[in-house]
Structure 1
Amino acid sequence: LVGASPELLVRKTGTRVESVALAGSARRGSDADEDERYGRALLASDKDRREHEMAALTVETALGEISRRIVRDAEP
């Protein structure tokens, strides 16, 4: 994977590799409460959930080629 992202793409600690990929985007709110509302709407969006699933599967497939075991969160 090559790119520029605000997310953690890959972190290696010993033999463990961690990746955090989250697809979709939402605007920032004017305060923390509005940020929270936008975040909940993003997580509830079918379109963004499908995009996230594609991103997660891409990372899982890439890491699966070099990993013995993959653990993936059920929810973004």
Structure 2
Amino acid sequence: MPFIKAAPLVQTFNSCFALINLRVIFSISLLFIMVQPKLWGQHKNEIVATLDGPTNQIRIRQHFTYVNQSKQGLSTL
């Protein structure tokens, strides 16, 4: 089997790779990471704050939900 000269293949690869800028690669990878679907956690914390202007009061309501996915009981929360 004859040997294939690597120089033309390397030049083709380098020219194609040179077209892709590192900024483009970084942007695409960052976009891929940021667009991932929401992950499910063990707790959910909702906070609703209402400002009452005339009385200068802030009303805060917090709802904390913890989901225990194990069969063991909770020892500390």
* Alignment TM-score, normalising by the size of structure 1: 0.25
* Alignment TM-score, normalising by the size of structure 2: 0.24
Q: Which has the higher helix share?
A: 1
Q: Flag the structure with larger Rg.
A: 2
